Amino acid sequence: MTHATLAAPRPRTAAPAPPGTRRRRRLFLTPYVFVAPFYVVFAAFGLYPLVFALQLSFTNWKGAGEARFVGLDNYTYLLTSEEFWSSLANSGVMWLLIVPVQIVGGLAVAVLLANARLRLRGMFRVAFIAPFVTPLVAMAQVWIVAFDKDYGLVNHLLHLVGLPDVDWLTSTAWAKPTLALLFLWKTTGFAIIVLLAGLQSVPGDVYEAAALDGASRLRQFWSLTLPLVRRSIAFLVVVQTLAVFQMFAEPFVVTKGGPYGSTTTGGLYLYNHITASDLGTGAANSFLLVLLVFALSLLSVRLLRSRDE
């Protein structure tokens, strides 16, 4: 009886990929290749600075040397600081002087531009948006000259009608309204454009049906216009809340935060920490501002959302 010699098993070779597999794989990866630069830039200039600032807020660092970990001391210092709460109060007063006035006034102008048959309507639109695209520092310098107590144009006009001088920029009573007026002049054009876009997205058939039902102009505005532009209003409230609490250039150029700290906003108070090389406290201040603005924005959105949302 002979024994058959066992042959060594042949090594298995990988099955060739079906035709088109590589092509499908390349097509699958192509979108990620195109969006990869955004994520690289975001990680380098967005995510990393954010994480670094959060880490910095728990340290005592002057910009050089080793950062010393101090835990929650920076947050405790700010939350017990009278100057910090004063800056937030100043920003809150500025918000009351700016955002409600801008929403009401901007909506009134937007309705007028959208519905009224005005001559040179395009020129009016350009006139409203021109301050928004004008450099803020240049406008602030004009504000300083116009509202000067002794030589300003505004007080000169008050003289013509027999009214006394007003300390627009050097009194605690008038400094905030003067800055609020500058902010309104600068950004109301943006609000008008946003609200005008919201109004023009409303179908005309809605107003025609309401008119056939006997609804007056006032009723149409209250029951149709306001609900239909609610999202535009909510967007403006969120954006302008963020802008007001971050306001820096206006008080820095016009009043330097005075008189007596009455125009030191949250953004300017944060800048003061940076110039003093107190970077840890400045980072903690920035995160407290972020949390405050987020809470106010969330509250605004909840108050302005419709019932079915």
In the chain, the domains with their CATH numbers are 83-304 (1.10.3720.10)
Distance CA 73, CA 281 (A): 9
pTM for the predicted model, two decimal places: 0.81
Distance CA 234, CA 244 (A): 15
What pLDDT score was predicted for residue 116? Answer: 64
Q: What is the mean pLDDT of residues 48-68?
A: 87
Distance CA 86, CA 266 (A): 9
Going by pLDDT thresholds of 50, 70 and 90, the confidence category of residue 21 is low
Q: What is the mean pLDDT of residues 185-207?
A: 84
Return the minimum-mean-pLDDT range out of 79-88, 118-127, 238-247, 274-283.
118-127
Distance CA 80, CA 64 (A): 27
Distance CA 164, CA 145 (A): 18
Q: Is 61 helix (H, G, I), strand (E, B) or coil?
A: coil
Distance CA 283, CA 260 (A): 25
Q: Are 191 and 185 in contact (CB under 8 A)?
A: no
Q: What is the mean pLDDT of residues 47-69?
A: 87
Return the minimum-mean-pLDDT range out of 21-25, 54-58, 247-251.
21-25
What pLDDT score was predicted for residue 200? Answer: 82
What pLDDT score was predicted for residue 134? Answer: 84
What pLDDT score was predicted for residue 213? Answer: 76
Distance CA 121, CA 63 (A): 53
The label of the residue with tokens 């009214």 reads: 163
What pLDDT score was predicted for residue 23? Answer: 67
Percent of the chain having pLDDT more than 90? 23
pLDDT mean across residues, the chain: 83
For 186, other C-beta atoms within 10 Å of its C-beta total 20
User: Is 52's pLDDT higher than 70?
Assistant: yes
Closest C-alpha to 182, from 131, 133, 242: 131
Q: Are 199 and 111 in contact (CB under 8 A)?
A: yes
Q: CB under 8 Å to 264, separation ≥6 — which residues? A: 83, 86, 87, 90, 251, 257, 258, 272
Going by pLDDT thresholds of 50, 70 and 90, the confidence category of residue 309 is low
Going by pLDDT thresholds of 50, 70 and 90, the confidence category of residue 307 is low
Angle at 248 between CA 244 and CA 254, to 5 degrees: 110
What pLDDT score was predicted for residue 163? Answer: 87
